[in-house]
Amino acid sequence: LTRTKAQRIKEDQSNDLHGHPSYVLNPHLSTIKEDILYHFNLGTASHDLPAMFGDVKFVCVGGSPWRMKSFIQYIAGELGLGDPKAEYPNFCEGTDRYCMYKVGPVLSVSHGMGIPSIAIMLHELIKLLHHAKCSNVTVVRIGTSGGIGGLEPGTVVVTKQSVDAKFQPQFEQVILGKTVIRPTDLDEELAQELLQCSKEIDEFNTVIGNTMCTLDFYEETGQARLDGAFCSYSEKDKLNYLNEAYSAGVRNIEMESSVFASMCKLSGLRGAVVCVTLLNRLEGDQLTSPHEVLVNYQLRPQKLVGYFIKKQLQKS
């Protein structure tokens, strides 16, 4: 299921008619009277979604709830829209599945760990943007990852393509028992814009590269770690595999980019993945850096995306 050019033109025309694009692609949705976004604890009948979210232009998503809360505080300060020390309401109060914060045109949403967790969140987020009649939205995943190759820990990787554990730029899904393959390339122009922002900030190293998305942090279909509860291969096997990944253009490894990229593509949302590397996987598996160092690294994607948003808003 990908949008053909003809579909896009038709949608663009209908966008003009209704004044908003359709990020959803589901004929059944229009037959649902009330759409309940269950994992957000929001719904079309219980909430005025256009009034609450209609002005959203940037959505930042990341795994950890506290990081997404600190991101909204940071962005409030950066954009001069609020006190960075203030408490901002969590729109998903009433559920602890995900959290959601907003200042001005920026929405910050947590997605948990792994493909299924982010996929559920993205279905509901895309429907939320649709119900709220949002337009021209950019979505960025800000996250953490393991680096490979010569990257110093703390390097930020902007994803060119998300590849699977066989280094293929695709996301394989089983729908009604049949395997469906969806593309995972991201918006190249947006990736270049983010790289340019990093050059302008000039505080940390940023590269563009492929990101390998795995189903596990440790062993099986995972990140080739030697420190899981189980391990069936040698250190040499591990290094061979990671070197092969490097040769395929992989610069970092995480656990959500493939379904993120594929859902951005399906919905027509402009999307980017910006992850900091917490360690060099050719040198180890355990996260041995002090907590403050790791927390500091995690501010880098926030800084980069904050700068990008500010620049975009100054342009418009």
CA–CA gap between residue 3 and residue 8 (Å, rounded): 6
CA angle 209, 68, 94 (to 5 degrees): 135
Task: State the CB neighbour count (10 A cutoff) for residue 212.
Answer: 30
Minimum CB distance to ligand R2B, residue 110 (Å): 10
Asked whether residue 142 is marked as a ligand-binding residue, the answer is yes
Query: Using an 8 Å Cβ cutoff, are 118 and 111 in contact?
Result: yes
The nearer residue to ligand URA, 89 or 284, going by C-beta atoms, is 284
Pairing between strand 170-175 and 58-62?
unpaired
The CB-of-171 to ligand R2B minimum distance in angstroms stands at 14
Interaction mask 43-72, ligand URA, x per CB under 6 A: ------------------------------
> Rounded to whole angstroms, how far apart are CA atoms 189 and 208?
12
What does the block give as tokens for 16? 């003009």
Which partner, ligand R2B, ligand URA, none, binds residue 241 by CB below 5 to 8 Å per kind?
A: none
Measured from the CB of residue 117, what is the shortest distance to ligand R2B in angstroms?
8
If the CB atoms of residues 31 and 286 are measured against ligand URA, the closer one turns out to be: 286
DSSP for 34-81? S-EEGGGTEETTTS-HHHHHTT--EEEEES-HHHHHHHHHHHHHHTTS
Could you give the CA distance from residue 16 to residue 42 in angstroms, rounded to a whole number?
Answer: 28
**Least distance (Å) between residue 137 CB and ligand URA:** 26
Comparing CB distances to ligand R2B, the nearer of 56 and 118 is 118
For residue 118, CA distances in Å to 141, 250, 304 come to 10, 21, 22
Which CB sits closer to ligand R2B, 21 or 154?
154
Q: Is 217 in the site for ligand URA (CB under 6 A)?
A: yes
Binding mask 245-284 for ligand URA (x = CB under 6 A): --------xxx----------------------x------
Complex with ligand R2B: residue 239 or 287, whichever CB lies closer: 287
Phi-psi region of 133 (alpha: psi -120 to 50; beta: other; left: phi over 0): left
Q: Is 223 in the site for ligand URA (CB under 6 A)?
A: yes
> 214 among the known binding-site residues?
no
Q: Is 141 annotated as a binding residue?
A: yes
The answer to whether 177 and 221 are in contact (CB under 8 A) is: no
167 contacts which partner out of ligand R2B, ligand URA, none, CB within 5 to 8 A by kind? Answer: none
Q: Give the integer Cα–Cα distance in Å for 35 and 105.
A: 23
> How many residues at the interface with ligand URA, by CB under 6 A?
9
Q: Which spans of this chain sit near ligand R2B (rule: CB under 6 A)?
A: 63, 113, 143-145, 217, 254-256
* Least separation in angstroms between CB 129 and ligand R2B: 23
77 is in an annotated binding site: no
CA proximity to 255, closest of 296, 191, 212, 286: 212
144 binds ligand URA (CB under 6 A): yes
Number of Cβ atoms within 10 Å of the Cβ of 18? 9
In the chain the first and final C-alpha atoms are separated, in Å, by 33
Report whether 251 belongs to an annotated binding site: no
Residues comprising the binding site?
Answer: 97, 141-144, 223, 225
Residues comprising the binding site for substrate?
Answer: 223, 225
Residues that bind ligand URA in the complex, under the rule CB under 6 A: 144-146, 217, 223, 253-255, 278
